[in-house]
């Protein structure tokens, strides 16, 4: 009887010691809502969805509210992407596209470029080159390089209206392009467009 009591006390002591030495579960730190500039920076490098996942989906309600109620374009874009790709919420491509369109309607270049790309490639929508060029043209006028590169490529392949090639060439020549790969792509497009446009037009653009 005494031995059993000693063993019971020893076992209880070992359990208590184990509880004291076991690592405590780390508390989840609250996440601050992203500023629009921070969010646009994440979108620019295509890390906006990764950031939402890295933040353990804590901001889903805040993101939805800023997209639906406050109608902040960058958040409409983010919420649309989350819905379309099923990030932290059930996948709903139709609703996701509608939020991207809301952001595009407010003139957000990132949304204009993404929708233009979708219509040009047929991702989630039927291919519509006219609509693609309209969207990319607007993003190009907003000096959004990613859109300009795609806009110039499609214009050089005969899509859009003749004036698109001139607009694309002018935008590329005036663009500041730190990224080496994008710079090389721009140089190839410039050379292609210059061959397609009259020398007088090329000279006029170069003089601006």
Task: Spell out the residues 6+ positions from residue 206 whose beta carbon is closer than 8 angstroms to its own.
Answer: 173
Query: Quick one: average pLDDT of 150-174?
Result: 96
The reply to whether 102 and 135 lie within a common domain is: no
First to last CA, the chain: 101
**Is the domain of 102 the same as that of 131?**
no
- pLDDT at position 29 over 80: no
Residue 130 and residue 93 share a domain: no
Q: Which of 119, 117, 49 is nearest to 77 (CA)?
A: 49
Q: Clarify whether residues 142 and 99 are in a common domain.
A: no
Asked if residue 101 and residue 52 are part of one domain, the reply reads yes
Average pLDDT estimate for 45-55: 95
Q: Which of 106, 133, 154 is the last residue of a domain?
A: 106
Q: Is residue 25 very low, low, confident or very high in pLDDT (cuts 50, 70, 90)?
A: very low
Concatenated DSSP letters of 114-143:
HHHHHHHHTSSS---HHHHHHHHHHHHHTT
98 shares its domain with 129: no
The answer to whether 143 touches 171, Cβ cutoff 8 Å, is: yes
In a domain, 198, yes or no: yes
Q: What's the number of domains the chain is made of? A: 2
Among 106, 139, 154, identify where a domain stops: 106
- Domain span including residue 70: 31-106
> pTM here?
0.82
For residue 160, what is the DSSP state? S
Q: Are residues 152 and 98 in the same domain?
A: no
Looking at the fold, whether 133 and 202 belong to one and the same domain comes out as: yes
CA distances (Å), 67 to each of 19, 95, 151, in order?
45, 12, 28
- Residues in CB range of 29: below 8 A, 6 or more apart: none
Asked if residue 206 and residue 133 are part of one domain, the reply reads: yes
Task: Identify the DSSP state of 88.
Answer: S
Residues 92 and 142 both lie in one domain: no
- Same domain (yes/no): 129, 59: no
- How confident is the model over 59-105, as pLDDT tens digits? 999 999 999 999 999 999 999 999 999 999 999 999 999 999 999 99
Residue 48 has pLDDT above 80, yes or no: yes
DSSP 24-83: PPPPPPP-PPPPHHHHHHHHHTT-HHHHHHHTTTTTHHHHHHHHHTS--HHHHHHHHHHH
Written as six digits, the tokens of 137 are: 């043209």
pLDDT at residue 28, as a whole number: 53
Of the residues 72, 106, 140, the one at which a domain ends: 106
Question: Are 88 and 57 a contacting pair, CB within 8 Å?
Answer: yes
Per-residue pLDDT, 21: 45
- For the chain, count helices (H), then strands (E): 12, 0
Q: How confident is the model at residue 208 (pLDDT cuts 50, 70, 90)?
A: confident
State yes or no: pLDDT of 15 exceeds 60. Answer: no
């Amino acid at each position: 009887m005494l031995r059993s009591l000693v063993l019971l006390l020893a076992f209880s002591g070992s359990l208590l010691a184990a509880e004291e030495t076991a690592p405590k579960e780390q508390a989840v730190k609250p996440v601050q809502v992203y500023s629009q500039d921070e969010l646009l920076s994440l979108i620019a490098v295509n890390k906006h969805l990764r950031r939402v996942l890295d933040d353990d989906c804590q901001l889903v309600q805040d993101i939805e509210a800023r997209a639906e109620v406050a109608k902040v374009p960058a958040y409409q874009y983010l919420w649309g992407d989350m819905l379309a790709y099923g990030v932290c919420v059930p996948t709903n491509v139709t609703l996701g596209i509608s939020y991207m369109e809301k952001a595009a309607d407010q003139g957000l270049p990132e949304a204009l470029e993404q929708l233009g790309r979708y219509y040009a490639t047929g991702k989630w929508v039927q291919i519509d080159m006219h609509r693609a060029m309209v969207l990319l043209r607007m993003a190009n006028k907003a000096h959004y390089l990613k859109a300009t590169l795609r806009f110039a490529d499609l214009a050089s392949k005969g899509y859009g209206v003749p004036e698109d090639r001139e607009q694309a060439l002018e935008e590329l020549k005036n663009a500041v392009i730190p990224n080496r790969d994008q710079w090389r792509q721009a140089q190839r497009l410039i050379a292609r467009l210059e061959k397609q446009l009259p020398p007088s037009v090329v000279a006029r653009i170069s003089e601006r």
